[in-house]
Amino acid sequence: MSILVTGAAGFIGYHLCKKLLEEKFKVIGLDNLNSYYDQDLKRSRVKELNDFSSKNGLIFNFIKGDIVNKSQIKKIFEDNLKSNTKIKMVINLAAQAGVRYSIENPSAYIQANIVGFSNIIEESKNYEVDHFIYASSSSVYGGNKKLPFNETDQVDNPVSLYAATKKSNELIAHTYSHLFKLPTVGLRFFTVYGPWGRPDMALFKFTNLILNDKSIQVFNYGKMVRDFTYIDDVIESIYLLIKKLIKNKKTYKNTQYQKPYKIFNIGNSKPTNLEDYIKAIELNLNKKAKIVYEDMQPGDVKATYANTDSLVNEINFKPNTSINVGIKKFISWYISYYKKSSN
């Protein structure tokens, strides 16, 4: 079965492609390798996927391309149809990520997350994929005060453009499910971290700065709470959802009245104080951080906390890796990756 994964050179995309290859899916990976962060890291992820698939006789077809380019997207679906490898599932992870950068460069978000998203869901509908899965975000909960966040909560108060684009994705997906019976699944990820992670996120940034004897900026004077979610738990959740979707395909298609539209929180359901997260990094690096405390950043939220009952009901799996285990694995990857790339 052919699956198109967009954002395949990204942090989550890389791990997901690897898992899908291990499970013997034919994976088409699309990414524009943009320069939002270190392009060498993105290229290294693609190289790992290419090496892994060729070593194990698996099919990974990487395409450097842009979801904003409508004709290029259409061509990918068409080419696969013609060569008898019809794309049956799309997992759209390509996006302009990051809350803070959306204040600096709003158009990057409108392009990738709105125009690009619309292109990819439209062609998924035109080429009649069985399932369309896409990355949403915990940021859609915006300024909500009620914790934990539940999928049924109102999410009409985004506090960043990034959040607004992710909420828009959910609305667009709802329309496609309603009008065209396109089965869609939105995944609200909660602060994902782990090996091959993103250089613009706290764990990567703090590790780099602490190792280089530089100070770290800690916003809202450290009074922040995040539901840090380990990458392997995220990938296992997506994989189990995919398995279930494939199994239930017939039920979906035959359901006349129920909209084939779903949203899941994917979080650890264990909110952690930022200060404790930093302590765990210091412990694993065996080095103290030089901390500069700052005000709350515009667009940021004070706390995130996922209710994962829906996910557990659906797949009988609950993300549960502790930050101590997850941070240790990230740091050992970080040290070996940068040792290798400096040789």
Ligand X SMILES: NC(=O)c1ccc[n+]([C@@H]2O[C@H](COP(=O)([O-])OP(=O)(O)OC[C@H]3O[C@@H](n4cnc5c(N)ncnc54)[C@H](O)[C@@H]3O)[C@@H](O)[C@H]2O)c1
For the bound state, the minimum distance from the C-beta of residue 342 to ligand X, rounded and expressed in Å, comes to 22
Burial pattern 158-194, b for ≥16 Cβ within 10 A else e, equals: bbbbbbbbbbbbbebbeebbeebebbbbbbbbbbbbb
Which of 79/248 has CB closer to ligand X? 79
Residue number closest to ligand X, CB atom: 10
Cβ at position 161, least distance to ligand X in Å: 12
Quick one: 159 or 248, whose CB is closer to ligand X? 159
334 is catalytic: no
When the beta carbons of 232 and 248 are compared against ligand X, the nearer one is 232
Dist CA 26 CA 46 (whole Å): 15
DSSP string, 36-85: TS-HHHHHHHHHHHHHHHHHTT--EEEEE--TT-HHHHHHHHHHHHHTT-
* Pairing status of strand 290-293 against strand 26-31: unpaired
Shortest reach from residue 281's CB to ligand X, in Å:
16
Alpha-carbon distances, residue 40 vs 7, 35, 329, 334 (angstroms): 15, 10, 21, 14
Identify which of 192, 135, 187 has the alpha carbon closest to the alpha carbon of residue 321. 192
Question: Nearest distance from residue 42's CB to ligand X, in Å?
Answer: 5
Please, is 282 exposed, middle or buried when counting C-beta atoms within 10 Å of its C-beta (0-12, 13-18, 19+)?
Answer: middle
Q: How far is the CB of 37 from ligand X (least distance, A)?
A: 7
Binding site for ligand X (CB under 6 A): 6-7, 9-13, 30-34, 42, 66-68, 93-97, 112, 116, 135, 137, 189, 191-192, 198
Q: How far is the CB of 284 from ligand X (least distance, A)?
A: 20
**Contact indicator for 247, 209 with CB cutoff of 8 Å:** no
Q: Render 157-221 in DSSP notation, one character per residue.
A: --SSHHHHHHHHHHHHHHHHHHHH---EEEEEE--EE-TT--TTSHHHHHHHHHHTT-EEEEGGG
Closer to ligand X by CB, 12 or 173: give it: 12
CB closer to ligand X out of 185 and 192: 192
DSSP-derived letter for residue 306 is: B
- Half-sphere exposure of residue 184: CA atoms within 13 angstroms, side-chain side: 28
115 vs 252 by CB, closer to ligand X = 115
Query: Which listed residue (36, 109, 141, 162) is catalytic?
Result: 162
Query: What residues act catalytically?
Result: 162
